[in-house]
Amino acid sequence: MTEVKLPRRDFLKAAGAASAAGAAAATGIAACSPAAETAATAPPAEPEIWLTLNATEAAFVKAVVDTLIPADELTPSGTDVGLATFIDRQLAGGFGNGAKLYRSGPFLPGKPEHGYQLALSPRDFFRAGISEANAWTTKTYGKEFDRLTVEQRNEALTAIETGKAQFNGGFTSNFFFDNFLQLSMEGFFADPMYGGNKNKVAWKMIGFPGLPASYREEVKTYFNKKYDKEPQSIADFS
């Protein structure tokens, strides 16, 4: 498989196909099997396309979601499960542009209990937050967030989460983190049709079966029993 040249970020996508071919190889029918052929001639993975994020923002978002959701035996990394794509799409769409957000002034700083009080649309809030976060890591580590080592990313994100990172521009780093984390959780656990939670990995990780048809009998027959059915998504029902 190694002769197929893939950009680093796309390597994991191809890895799924590769291991299928690997399993076929182990049975001794590798050379001319259709599986092997498919893998060898697999089209290059989809190019990265962003609806609204610029290159710096995209790099930041990918680095943060990979820190929030590191690849391990439970799931691939945040980027590989589609979280950066999800965030980009959400910010480009109605949510990012302030749908269902009351946007009349005056805009005054409130208490945390007042909730979001900024004049910025969520899209512009993320723009401002990313640039503050990168400014802070540049001041602290001499680099933007996506250039940091894994250990530095963990440390920097903790500082941002706890408000220790100094942000200018009308909101704290922990406020930015809370909003970023919420959007990431939405993407990780939402229906895969939104672009995150690719292959229902988050649902599989926790044992959420996705869309039910009916649990009328199961609510009794599975009383205190494990229900480990393959999760169903909206696409599976459509």
Partner 1 sequence: MVTKLKEVDAVVVGMGWTGAILSRELTKAGLNVVGLERGPMRTPRDDFAIPAIRDELKYTNRHELFQDTAMETVSLRHAMSETALPMRRHGSFLPGTGVGGAGSHWNGATWRNLEVDYVVRSHYTEKYGRNAIPADMTVQDFGVTYAELEPHFDKFEKLCGISGQAGNLRGKKIDGGNIFEGPRANDYPNKPLARNFASSTFDTAARSLGYHPFPQPSANASEAYTNPEGATMGQCVYCGFCERYGCESNAKASPNVSVLPVLLPDPKFELRTNSYVKKLNYDRAAKKVTSVTYVDTRTGEEYEQPAGLVILGAYVFNNTLLMLYSGIGTPYDPVTGRGSVGKNYCYQYTGAGVTVFFEDAETNPFMAAGAFGTIMDDFNGDNFDHSGLGFIGGGHISAGLSNGRPIETRAVPPGTPRWGKAWKEANAKWYRRWFNVAGTAVNYAYRDNYLDLDPTYKDALGRPLIRMTYNFKENDYKIGAFLSQKSAEIAKAMNPTIMTEPRFRRGDYDSRPYQSTHNTGGTIMGTDPSTSVVNRYLQSWDASNLFIMGASVFPQNQSYNPTGPLGALAYWSADAIVNKYMKAPGPLMQA
Contact positions vs partner 1 (CB under 8 A): 67-70, 72, 74-75, 94-95, 98-104, 106, 108, 110-117, 154, 157, 161, 181, 185-186, 189-191, 194, 202-203, 205-209, 211-216, 218-220, 222-227, 234, 237-238
Q: Which is nearer to partner 1, 40 or 211 (CB)?
A: 211
* Residue 41, CA distances (Å) to 4, 11, 32, 118 in order: 9, 15, 13, 50
Closest to partner 1 by CB, 56 or 97: 97
Instruction: Report yes or no: 154 and 103 within 8 Å, Cβ to Cβ.
Output: no
Q: How far is the CB of 131 from partner 1 (least distance, A)?
A: 22
If the CB atoms of residues 36 and 130 are measured against partner 1, the closer one turns out to be: 130
**Shortest CB 17 distance to partner 1, Å:** 25
Between 33 and 152, CB nearer to partner 1 = 152
- Which residue intervals of 52-191 are DSSP H helices? 55-68, 83-92, 122-141, 150-161, 173-189
Helix (H), strand (E), coil (C) string for 152-177: HHHHHHHHHHCCCCCCCCCCCHHHHH
CB of 81 to partner 1, least distance (A): 11
**Residue 53 C-beta: closest distance to partner 1, Å:** 19
What percent helix, strand, coil does the chain show, rounded to 5?
A: 55, 0, 45
